[in-house]
Every structure is written in structure tokens, then in C-alpha cells.
Amino acid sequence: MNWIPGTWPHMDWQLDQITALGLLAGVLVLFIWGKLRYDLVAMAALMLAVVLGVVAPENAFSGFGHPAVITVALVLVLSQAIQQSGVIDILARPLSRLSDRPILFLIALCVFAAVLSGFMNNVGALALLMPLALSLTDRPSLVLMPLSFATILGGMTTLIGTPPNIIVSSFRRQIVGEGFNLFDFSAVGVSLAVLGVVFVVFVGWRLLPQRKDKTRHTDVYSTHDFLTEIEVPEDSELLNTRIGDLEHNHAGEVTIIGLIRRSTRIYANLRVALIRPGDILIVRASPEELEAFLDDTDLRVWGADRFEEEHLTDAEVGLLEVVVSSGSVLVGRTPKEMRFRRRHGVNLLAISREGEAIHNRLAHVVLRAGDVLLMQGSQEHLRDTMVGLGCLPIASKQISISRGELRLLPVAFFMAAIAATAFGLLPIYISFALALGATILSRQYSVEGLYTAIDWPIIVLLAGMIPLGEALLSTGATTQISALLVQLTQGLPVWVILTAILLVTMTLSDLMNNAATAVVMAPLAAEVANKLGLSPDPFLMAVALGASCAFLTPIGHQNNLLVMGPGGYRFGDYWRMGLPVQLIIVGVGIPLLLMVWPL
């Protein structure tokens, strides 16, 4: 390939290279569009690649056994085991003593979050600390985004802190024969995490828009706005009618979530309960729906505005606020489709989106990632049911990070696995597998937890994207692109090229999943280094940093999306604090990379 400055380089492309790049471009467009689940997009692209001959059929599902995918799954399960151990609960208790000193509380919360995220999945770290933060502050909008950023920054510090680091290390093993060690990311990552957290807790939160906060997020939707107590007259024509039939006759727009009969409150098996004289029905409906319902029946509002919120709960029934994650089965579906009560035994009481309550026609609202739901159900099963549906509990009547007795063995096994990895005794996926096996055999964690703790959409995404990334290498498409980049940047200092790779990775990470970004950019960065005759390490580390820097939008990293609803943030709020953080990472990160990882 001969290139004359001022002209576009001539490239000889093969059909399989064009096909592979076309598939990748289509995947990136669909990721950025965001209307389809990213795991489904990745698997559909993989199947199409097999049909088009870009990926060999025998390699189609090799991603599921890839060390990076196995390691990510193990980290997710071990993080959940530690979360349930009670140890983090004890460590977090001192934070409650700082709740009346907002700045100190924010500093302690973000530092703790960053440290936790270095050694466990950063989504898990957020899941641990967000309920605590909400229970101890009356300004969630000034706390939750800094908390999210702190968990993302902490993930940069170790190999296991975030999936992109694991993916980059795994790719290095492919090309060099050895991956990055557990703490190879720390020299640069810790420095940037410290600078980032210092900026966030002292300056960044001041850049966020000042909006009126609620003492509790539940205050966004007052129960008086959507719940009403309806009395059944002695001579009602609805006597002996099943409650399920009453709801069905009104097209599902009115939901009866409870029944008060004399001094007894009934929540279970409501659909088959028969209406009796003097019953008080707790009805969920908008004012318009309620008016139409009362016009069609001989029922009447009981006591006007005398609704008692304690009627929603008792010893067996409770309320729980949850936020819908990006991989939840609820995304893109309506409550009516999900049939919460019939399938899962829970009632949907309210939906909040970007801090604003949605009151009308809840049954027909298409749920989105980041929506906050107020659920009612069995105290015993409500939380587990919501986690199984892909939701993150954020608040309940009693905030508690862990449940059950203190368990030290899971932490001990985890620390032993880290030590074995750090001293090079075992590969990380073997040491973590042994730690998980020991945790289960010692009955410190249930076998069922293996399946509920794993974020399956992430696993499927990686399993689909890794063969596509390898196809780019095997067809020579990555070599062609890297050669083009080297020609276009000929004569420029290496630090400029490194900065360009970091910025491109950052941009992609702000627009699509960070793990997918690492899969795409790691081979390209390594090939650029190869064309320049330089070590691939600083280029791969730039990709690891950039893939973790999803600070400008709520869609690039799941943690940003999870705090959007509870914090009442809008899409455009994130760049206010995120842009300075990314400028700090670029300005300080490039010199650090060149210092720690010589060319």
C-alpha cells in the first residue's frame, strides 16, 4: 500500500474483510440506537456471521467457554456471595454516623465505593451502597451520580474491577502468551481513581443541576395519587362477585391490590375472593379511571381523603422500590404483558421515570431501563422476585444491605483466590472457580444463587462479540484498518496516536456497552502498536481506560442508568460532571501510561 500525503490511501479489501466490517458496523449502529437488547443484537450478528462464512460453525459458540467470559461470570457470583456475607454491612455502618455532615458523608461513601469496586463487580458495589445512600441523605440527586462515578473509577484499579479489564487482559494473553496480572492496572488506575474521586466529591457535585429533592424517592409518587379505598355497600349488586371478575369487567384499568374485611387485611389469592358487604377495597387507579369505575358500579369512596398508607403493608406484605436494569426482562414490555400478580405474586403500585411519577394507565406503560417501580408483595419473596426479573432493589421499609448471619468464609475464600492470582500461582479463572466451589461446598452460598447472580445479558453479549472480534483478526480486517490509521497518522508523535485511541474508545463506551467496546478496540489498538513496532501494552491499557470511561451519558455504563431514576437525573445531566472527569483522565492518563508502560 503506497500512500502520498494529501490523498486517501489505497486499500485492497477482500470480500470476507468487508463482510466482517459490515457486520461490526451494523452491530455498533444497533448498540447506539438502543432499541434492541444488546445481547440479542450480538447473537443475531454472530449467527449472520456464521451464515455468511465469516465465522466457522465450530467456533460459533466458543465465546461461552472463553476465559474472559468465565472470569466475568465468576466475579459476578463471588461478588453476590460477598454481598450476602454481611461483612460489607459491618464495614458500611460507620457511614451512618456521617449522615448529618453531607460533605464528609459523600467523601466516605465515594471512597468506600471506589475501594469496593476494585475487588468486586462495580454494579454489585452500587447495589450494596445505593440503598444505604438513599436512606441516609435527603439530597439523592447530589449523591447518587457521584456514587456511580466512584464505582466506575474504582473498577479501573484492578483486573477484576470491570469486564473491559478482563477482556483486554485475555486478548493480551492471545497475542503475547501472558495476560495482565491482577494489579497491573493499579499504577495508572489508582492514580486516576483518586483524582477522579477528589474532583467528584469536592467540585463535581456542584456542577449538577439543583432540583428539589425528596426525603425518600417514594415521595415522588404519593400513594394518595393512585390508591383509593372503596367501600362495598350492604345492598351492593356486586356481592359475591369474584374480585378477578370485577377487574376483568373493567378492562384491567382498575387493579384491586388489597381487601380490608373488618379488622383483617387480605392480600393473597385476591382474584378468587368474593366481595362481602362492608368490605373495603384498596384500588389502584388514576382519577379518571376511578371516576369511570365508580360510575359503572354502586361502590363509593370510603372516607374521602382518609386513605391509610399502613393498609399497604403488614407482617407478611411489604413495599419495595426497584430500578429496572438494562438487561431486565421487563424492558420493552408493559405491566399488563408481564402480569405481575398472576405470575409473580406482586402488585405494581407506581412507576417513576427520570424523577417524575407516571400516574395514568400503568398497565400500558412500556417499561424502560432506569424506570423506578414501587412494588407490593410478600416480605419473604418480594426482593428475590424482583432481582430475578433483572431489577435492583433501591429502597424498602427497612433498609438492610445484607440478610442473615455474618459469614466470613466467602470473604476468606475470595481473598485466597486474589492472593493465588496476585502471586501467579493460578490463572484468575481457576483460582476464582476454586473459591466459588469452596464457598458452595461449605454451604455459604446456594447453588441456585449461581444462576440468579450472573448477569446473563452481559455473558451472552460477550459470547457473541468475542467470535466476531476474532473474525476481524482472522480475515485481516483489523490489519487493514490499523494500516490505514498508521498511514493517516504518519509523522505524528506516538502520544497523539495513543490519545486518539483513548478518545475513540471513550466515545464508543459512552454510546454502547463498555464490554463490547473493549472487544472491538483491543485488537485494533494492538495491531496499531504492531504496525508501529511498539509494545502493545500502553495501547491495550488505553483501551481498558477508555472502555471504563462512560461518564457522559446514562447508557454507556449500567451504574449510570441505575441511578438515573432514583436520582431524578435527565439524559443531559451526566456530561456536566462527566466531561471534566474524562478530561482529567485524558490529561493525566496518557503521561501515566507512557511512564508506567514504556513503548
pLDDT digits (tens, 9 = 90+) for 258-303: 788 877 777 667 777 888 888 888 887 766 677 778 778 878 776 5
In a domain, 335, yes or no: yes
If one counts every other C-beta atom within 10 angstroms of the C-beta of residue 572, the result is 11
CATH number reported for the structural domain that contains residue 391 in this entry: 3.30.70.1450
Q: Look at residue 379 and tell me if it is in a domain.
A: yes
**For the chain, what is the domain count?**
1
**Residue 561 to residues 31, 106, 125, 353, Cα–Cα distance (Å):** 15, 20, 14, 11
The span from the CA of 559 to the CA of 163, in Å, is: 13
CA–CA dist 462, 460 (Å, integer): 5
DSSP-derived letter for residue 557 is S
Mean model confidence pLDDT for the chain: 83
Q: What DSSP line would sit under 418-430, residue for residue? A: HHHHHTTSS-HHH
Query: Rounded to whole angstroms, what are the CA distances from 439 to 71, 395, 434?
Result: 16, 28, 9
Who wins on pLDDT, 320 or 152? Answer: 152
What is the rounded CA–CA span in Å between residue 321 and residue 566? 9
pLDDT tens digits along 347-359:
787 788 876 777 6
> Distance between CA atoms of 415 and 239, rounded to whole angstroms?
63
pLDDT (0 to 100) of residue 500: 92
**pLDDT higher than 80, residue 253:** no
449 closest CA partner among 439, 463, 460, 459: 439
Indicate the pLDDT class of residue 481, thresholds 50, 70 and 90. confident
Are the C-beta atoms of residues 136 and 216 closer than 8 Å to each other? no
Which among 476, 469, 582 has a CA at the least distance from the CA of 518?
469
| 308, amino acid identity | E
Confidence of residue 305 (pLDDT cuts 50, 70, 90): very low
Q: Inform me whether the pLDDT recorded for 252 exceeds 70.
A: no
| Residue 68 to residue 502: CA distance in whole angstroms | 22
What is the extent of the structural domain holding 343? 317-396
Q: Is the predicted pLDDT of residue 212 greater than 70, yes or no?
A: no
Of the pLDDT bands very low, low, confident and very high (cuts 50, 70, 90), residue 431 is very high
pLDDT of residue 398: 40
Does 330 fall in a domain? yes
Lowest mean pLDDT among 27-36, 252-261, 364-373, 497-506: 252-261
Predicted confidence (pLDDT) per residue in 181-205, tens digit: 989 999 999 999 999 999 999 999 8
Say if 43 falls within a structural domain. Answer: no
Instruction: Reduce the DSSP state of residue 437 to 3 states and report it.
Output: helix
> What is the rounded distance in angstroms from the CA atom of residue 456 to the CA atom of residue 589?
32
Q: Alpha helices of 10-85 — where are they, by DSSP H?
A: 15-33, 38-51, 67-83
Lowest mean pLDDT among 39-43, 263-267, 586-590: 263-267
Q: How far is Cα 481 from Cα 18, in angstroms, rounded to an integer? A: 11
Looking at residue 402, its pLDDT comes to 43
Measured distance CA(155)–CA(198) in Å, rounded:
16
pLDDT at residue 217 above 50? no
Residue 170 domain-assigned (yes or no): no
DSSP codes of every residue in 360-383:
S-GGGPPP-TT-EEEEEEETTTHH
Specify if 55 maps to a domain. Answer: no
- In DSSP notation, 221-258 reads S-HHHHEEEEE--TT-TTTT-BHHHHHHHTTTSSEEEE
DSSP assignment letter at 318: E
pLDDT for position 372: 87
Structure confidence by residue, pLDDT tens digits, 540-558: 999 999 998 989 988 778 8
Which backbone phi and psi does 549 adopt, to 5 degrees? -95, 65
142-192 pLDDT, tens digit each: 899 999 999 999 999 999 989 999 999 999 998 998 999 989 999 999 999
Cα separation, 354 vs 214, in Å, equals 13
Collapse the DSSP code of 356 into the 3-class scheme (helix H, G, I; strand E, B; otherwise coil) and give the result.
strand
**Whole-Å CA distances, 595 to 121, 187, 591, 598:** 28, 10, 6, 6
pLDDT tens digits, one per residue of 8-34: 555 677 888 899 889 988 988 888 787
CA distances, 55 to each of 64, 295, 363, 515 (Å): 15, 63, 43, 20
Record the cell numbers describing residue 548, joined without a space: 471504563
**pTM for the full model?**
0.78
Phi, psi of 128 (to 5 degrees): -70, -45
Helix axes of 163-176 and 456-475: crossing angle, nearest 10 degrees = 30
Please name the helix (run of DSSP H) or strand (run of DSSP E) that holds residue 122, with its range, or none: helix 122-136
Closest C-alpha to 233, from 294, 273, 277: 277
Q: Is the pLDDT at 395 greater than 80, yes or no?
A: no
pLDDT of residue 180: 94
Whether 527 and 479 have beta carbons less than 8 Å apart is answered as yes
pLDDT per position as a tens digit, 375-394? 888 777 787 788 778 888 87
Question: Tens digit of pLDDT for each residue in 503-538?
Answer: 999 998 888 888 889 998 999 999 999 989 999 999
Closest by CA to 255, choosing from 364, 160, 176, 355, is 364
- pLDDT confidence of residue 306: 46
Q: Please state, in angstroms and rounded to a whole number, the distance separating the CA atoms of residues 458 and 164.
A: 12
Q: How far apart are CA 306 and CA 224, in angstroms?
A: 9
Residue among 591, 555, 548 nearest 150 (CA): 548
Q: CA geometry: angle at 412 spanning 93 and 458, to 5°?
A: 80
- Residue 154 CA to residue 113 CA, distance in Å, equals 7
Kindly indicate the confidence band of residue 571, based on its pLDDT and cuts at 50, 70 and 90: confident
Q: How far apart are CA 370 and CA 558, in angstroms?
A: 9
Q: 382, 388, 417: which is closest to 403 by C-alpha?
A: 382
In a domain, 358, yes or no: yes
- Percent of the chain whose pLDDT exceeds 90: 31
Q: Does residue 325 lie in a domain region?
A: yes
First-to-last C-alpha distance (Å) of the chain: 25
Question: Does the pLDDT value for residue 483 go beyond 90?
Answer: no
**Nine cell digits for residue 582:** 474524562
CA 582 to chain centroid: 20
Report the pLDDT averaged over residues 85-91.
79
Give dist(CA 184, CA 176) in Å, integer. 15
